[in-house]
Structure 1
């Protein structure tokens, strides 16, 4: 191999290692609203973005939502456990392109909230 070709191969390896997947991050979310959302670049060992739901078995309808980076071995899995004596079920759905786990449902809830606020304002003013 020529020295120029070896240099290109080594440079390509460094560039590939330096690239990471960008995911939407939400440490905690309730009612389809993420508190303090951000974008994060995953480390090189992480291959997927995820969006997950955790539901406490005793409350039924109450769900927590999270988003971020995740290793492929947890993708499309459902885990069960307990936290302070309360049982929970958590599921993780994954995707593999930049910002593929962004919160489209958040936009829907903001629009729906605006419409409901306008309807209530019109109803109260009559």
Structure 2
């Protein structure tokens, strides 16, 4: 009987883990570029993938972007606050399917990108 309950517990934990979302995480995005982005799995079933914006009221033109997992209670909310005396307004848009807040991106080093560009330019000069 003890083995039965262990088996049930393991199955429940697998089902719970399978229901967690995979989301794109971006702790800081500025000017359309994500810094330090990666893919993450949300911790529990109450979290959803989100995209968020924080706009500083004084500048109006500086908007920071974030992505990741967020508790469902904050979805669709607009929050205000201040950092070092600068007031900001932030809002969060949520979705509930894997990678719905942005596809994962392939990041390559500058040297690899330059090498590929040079090879492509050489390839175009070799005509038969």
* TM-score calculated relative to the size of structure 1: 0.71
CA–CA distance in 2 between the matches of 1:21 and 1:49? Answer: 7
Superposed, which structure 2 residues align to 1:84-95 within 5 Å? 84-95=84-95
What does 1:60-79 align with in structure 2 at a 5 Å threshold? Answer: 60-79=60-79
**Aligned residue pairs, count:** 103
SS of the aligned residue for 2:88 comes to strand
Structure with the higher helix share, 1 or 2? 1
What is aligned with 1:17? 16
Q: Following TM superposition, by how much is the alpha carbon of 1:67 offset from its aligned partner in structure 2, in angstroms?
A: 0.2
Instruction: Look up the match of 1:32.
Output: 32
Note the residue ranges of structure 1 that are not aligned, 5 or more in a row: 105-126
TM-score, normalised to structure 2, is 0.70
Query: For 2:26 and 2:46, how far apart are their aligned partners in 1?
Result: 16
Cα RMSD of the aligned pairs, angstroms, is: 2.4
SS in structure 2 of the partner of residue 76 of structure 1: coil
SS in 1 for 2:102: coil
Q: Deviations over 1:29-81 (max 9, x none)?
A: 01111012100011015420000000000000110000000000000000001
Partner residue in 2 for 1:42: 42
Q: Which runs of 4+ in 1 moved over 3 A?
A: 5-12
CA distance in structure 1 between the aligned counterparts of 2:33 and 2:26, rounded to whole angstroms: 9
Instruction: Give 1:112's aligned residue.
Output: none
| Contact 1:55 1:64 survives alignment (8 Å) | yes
Give ranges in structure 2 of 5+ residues lacking alignment: 105-128
> Equivalent residues in 2 for 1:105-120 (5 A)?
none
- Paired residue for 1:117? none
